[in-house]
C-alpha cells in the first residue's frame, strides 16, 4: 500500500470530528442509496374540513329556499329554460308600404318575470340604432317587466309599433294588450298600424296583500307616473280603471290619448 493510499484511508476514517474514526458503511454492490427522508405532509385539520362542509351546506340550503319560492322558480325558468317571449330581427320593415324601410326587432309572446333582461340582450344582439323599431305582439303579462322594457326602449331612442311582418318585411296587423301597452308606450315615436289593436284594463295584484284598496291605488299611481313620463295623456289611466276586462281602444281614442303619435292609416 502506498503512502497516498494510506493517507486517503485515514481521511476516510476521520468522518467524525470527535470520538474514534469510524469507517462509513458500505452498500452492497448494485444497490442504490436510500432517498432522504421526506418531511411529513401537512394534513387538513378536522375543524377546517368541518367548517368548509358547513359553509357549502349553508349556501345550498339558501339556494334551495330561494328557488323553492314560486316567484324565484318562474324567474329562473323564464330567464334560462324557456323564455315566454320570442324575437326575430327584421332587416327591412316597411311600415307604410313605401320602399323605405327600417330595421326592426319583432317581439311576441307573454311578458314573463324575466322579460326585461331577456329583451335587453336581444336588443344588443339586434344592434338597432335610434329610430329603428320594436314591433310588438303580446297579450300582456308582468307589469313591472313591461315598464322596464318601455324604459329600455326609450333610453335607446327606438320607436314602437304593433303587429307582425311577412317574409318581405310588409307589416301585418296585430294586437298589444294589458302590460304590453306599457312597453309600447316607451317608444319615442309610437306608430299606429291600420288594423292593429291596443287593449287596456285595470291592473290588479295577484299576491295576497293586507290592504287591496291601497295596493290598487299604488299600482294606478305608478302607471300614471310612467305614462305621463312617456308623454301619454292621463286619460288612459281612466280608461284602464273602468274595467278588469280588456277594453280595445279605437284608433281615434289612442290618438287622442297620445298613445299613438304617428298614425299610419286614417283613424
Mean pLDDT of 209-218: 76
Rounded CA-CA distance 28/217 in Å is 98
| Closest to 130 (Cα-Cα) out of 189, 181, 171 | 189
pLDDT given at position 35: 64
| Confidence at 11, pLDDT banded by 50, 70, 90 | very low
Mean pLDDT of 29-48: 61
Mean pLDDT across the chain? 81
Helical packing angle, 143-155 and 212-229, nearest 10°:
10
| Confidence at 193, pLDDT banded by 50, 70, 90 | very high
SS3 call for 219: helix
Rounded CA-CA distance 178/143 in Å is 8
* CA 117 to chain centroid: 3
Per-residue cell: 44: 387538513
Rounded CA-CA distance 114/219 in Å is 20
**Portion of the chain with pLDDT greater than 70, in percent:** 67
Domain ranges of the chain: 70-201+246-263
Mean pLDDT of 42-47: 59
- Superfamily assignment of 70-201+246-263 in CATH? 2-enoyl-CoA Hydratase; Chain A, domain 1 (3.90.226.10)
Span 121-153, pLDDT tens digits: 999 999 999 999 999 999 999 999 999 999 999
pLDDT given at position 254: 97
Q: Which helix (H) or strand (E) holds 13?
A: helix 3-13
Contacts of 261 (CB under 8 A, 6+ apart): 187, 189, 190, 191, 231
* Helix ranges, 84-141 (H): 115-126
pLDDT given at position 56: 66
Amino acid at each position: 500500500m502506498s503512502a497516498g493510499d494510506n493517507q486517503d484511508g485515514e481521511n476516510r476514517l476521520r468522518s467524525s470530528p470527535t470520538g474514534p474514526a469510524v469507517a462509513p458503511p458500505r452498500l452492497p454492490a448494485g444497490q442504490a442509496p436510500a432517498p432522504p427522508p421526506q418531511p411529513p405532509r401537512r394534513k387538513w385539520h378536522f375543524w377546517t374540513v368541518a367548517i368548509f362542509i358547513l359553509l357549502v351546506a349553508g349556501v345550498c340550503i339558501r339556494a334551495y329556499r330561494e328557488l323553492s319560492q314560486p316567484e324565484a322558480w318562474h324567474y329562473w325558468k323564464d330567464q334560462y329554460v324557456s323564455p315566454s317571449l320570442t324575437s326575430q330581427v327584421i332587416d327591412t320593415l316597411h311600415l307604410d308600404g313605401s320602399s323605405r324601410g327600417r330595421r326592426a326587432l319583432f317581439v311576441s309572446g307573454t311578458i314573463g318575470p324575466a322579460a326585461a333582461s331577456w329583451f335587453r340582450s336581444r336588443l344588443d344582439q339586434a344592434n338597432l340604432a335610434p329610430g329603428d323599431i320594436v314591433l310588438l305582439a303580446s297579450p300582456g303579462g308582468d307589469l313591472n317587466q313591461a315598464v322596464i322594457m318601455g324604459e329600455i326602449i326609450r333610453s335607446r331612442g327606438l320607436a314602437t309599433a304593433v303587429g307582425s311582418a311577412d317574409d318581405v318585411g310588409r307589416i301585418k296587423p296585430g294586437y298589444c294588450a294589458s302590460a304590453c301597452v306599457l312597453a309600447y308606450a316607451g317608444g319615442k315615436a309610437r306608430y299606429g298600424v291600420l288594423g292593429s289593436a291596443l287593449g287596456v284594463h285595470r291592473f290588479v295584484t295577484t299576491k295576497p296583500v293586507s290592504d287591496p284598496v291601497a295596493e290598487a291605488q299604488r299600482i294606478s299611481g305608478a302607471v300614471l307616473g310612467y305614462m305621463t313620463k312617456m308623454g301619454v295623456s292621463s286619460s288612459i289611466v281612466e280608461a284602464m280603471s273602468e274595467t278588469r276586462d280588456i277594453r280595445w281602444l279605437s284608433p281615434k281614442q289612442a290618438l287622442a290619448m297620445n298613445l299613438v303619435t304617428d298614425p299610419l292609416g286614417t283613424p
